[in-house]
Structure 1
Amino acid sequence: MTTPISISRRSALGVLAGSLLAGAARAETGAGAGADLGGVTLRVAYYKGGWRPLLQAAGEDKTPYRIDWKELNNGVLHIEALNGDALDIGSGSEIPAMFAARQNAKVRFIAVTHEDLNTQVTVAAKDAPIRSIADLRGKRVGYVRATTAHYFLARQLEEAGLSFADIEAINLTPSDGYSAFASGKLDAWAIYGYNGRLAIAKQGARVLKTGVGYLSGNFPIYANPKAVDDPLRHAAVTDFLLRVQRAYAFANRNFPVYAAAVAADTHLPVEDLLDQFAHRSEDYALAGVTPDVPETHQRVADTFLKLGVLDVRTEVGKFWDTSFNEAIAKGAAKLATL
Structure 2
Amino acid sequence: MKRLLVVPAVLLLAGCAPATNTATDDFDLRVGALTTQNVLTLCQASGGLDEPVEEVGGSVTASDPFPAFAPAAEALAAGHIDVGSSGATGVLTALAGNPDLVIVAVEKNDNDSQGIVAAAGSGIASIEDLAGHTVAINEGGTGDYLLRKALDEHGMSIDDVEAVNLAPADAATAFSSGQVDAWATWDQYLVSAQVDLGATLVAYAGDFGAQNPSVHVVSREFADAHPSGVNALYRGLVACADEVVADPSILADAYRDAGVSDAVADAIISHRVPTIAPADEEFAAEFAELASFFAEQGMTDGVIDTSSATADVRTWVEG
- Secondary structure of the corresponding residue to residue 266 of structure 1: coil
For residue 162 of structure 2, what is the amino acid of its counterpart?
E
Q: In the TM superposition, what is the alpha-carbon distance from 1:218 to its structure 2 partner?
A: 4.0
Q: Which residue of 2 aligns with 1:229?
A: 224
For residue 221 of structure 1, what is the amino acid of its counterpart?
H
Q: Which residue of 2 aligns with 1:277?
A: 269
- Secondary structure of the corresponding residue to residue 286 of structure 1: strand
- Secondary structure of the corresponding residue to residue 278 of structure 1: coil
Q: In the TM superposition, what is the alpha-carbon distance from 1:56 to its structure 2 partner?
A: 7.1
Q: Which residue of 1 aligns with 2:35?
A: 47
Unaligned runs of 5+ in 1: 1-21, 329-338
2:169 to 170, 175, 178: 175
What are the residue-to-residue correspondences of 1:242-321 with 2, within 5 Å?
242-269=235-262, 271-280=263-272, 283-321=273-311
Q: Which has the higher contact order (CA 8 A, sep 6+)?
A: 1
Q: Please say if 1:185 is aligned against 2:191.
A: no
Q: When the two structures are superposed, what TM-score results if normalisation uses the length of structure 1?
A: 0.77
Q: What CA distance in whole angstroms lies between the structure 2 residues aligned with 1:167 and 1:317?
A: 33
Q: Deviations over 1:193-225 (max 9, x none)?
A: 222222222222211011114233643311122
The question of whether the paired residues in 1 share the 8 Å contact of 2:85 and 2:214 is answered with yes
Q: What CA distance in whole angstroms lies between the structure 1 residues aligned with 2:129 and 2:70?
A: 30
Provide closer, same or farther for how the CA distance between residues 72 and 116 of structure 1 changes in structure 2, counting only shifts above 3 A: farther
Q: Which residue of 2 aligns with 1:91?
A: 85
Q: Deviations over 1:13-43 (max 9, x none)?
A: xxxxxxxxx99x94xx634xxx455xx2513
Measured on the aligned residues, the alpha-carbon RMSD in Å equals 2.7
Provide closer, same or farther for how the CA distance between residues 156 and 320 of structure 1 changes in structure 2, counting only shifts above 3 A: same
Q: Percent identity?
A: 22
Unaligned runs of 5+ in 2: 1-17
Provide closer, same or farther for how the CA distance between residues 158 and 52 of structure 1 changes in structure 2, counting only shifts above 3 A: closer
Q: Please say if 1:220 is aligned against 2:215.
A: yes
Q: In the TM superposition, what is the alpha-carbon distance from 1:320 to its structure 2 partner?
A: 2.1
What are the residue-to-residue correspondences of 1:88-127 with 2, within 5 Å?
88-127=82-121
Q: Which has the higher helix share?
A: 1
- Secondary structure of the corresponding residue to residue 145 of structure 1: coil
Q: What CA distance in whole angstroms lies between the structure 1 residues aligned with 2:239 and 2:90?
A: 26
Q: When the two structures are superposed, what TM-score results if normalisation uses the length of structure 2?
A: 0.81
- Secondary structure of the corresponding residue to residue 258 of structure 1: helix
Provide closer, same or farther for how the CA distance between residues 160 and 320 of structure 1 changes in structure 2, counting only shifts above 3 A: closer
Provide closer, same or farther for how the CA distance between residues 223 and 94 of structure 1 changes in structure 2, counting only shifts above 3 A: same
Provide closer, same or farther for how the CA distance between residues 76 and 146 of structure 1 changes in structure 2, counting only shifts above 3 A: farther
Q: In the TM superposition, what is the alpha-carbon distance from 1:188 to its structure 2 partner?
A: 0.4
Q: In the TM superposition, what is the alpha-carbon distance from 1:275 to its structure 2 partner?
A: 3.7
Provide closer, same or farther for how the CA distance between residues 125 and 275 of structure 1 changes in structure 2, counting only shifts above 3 A: same
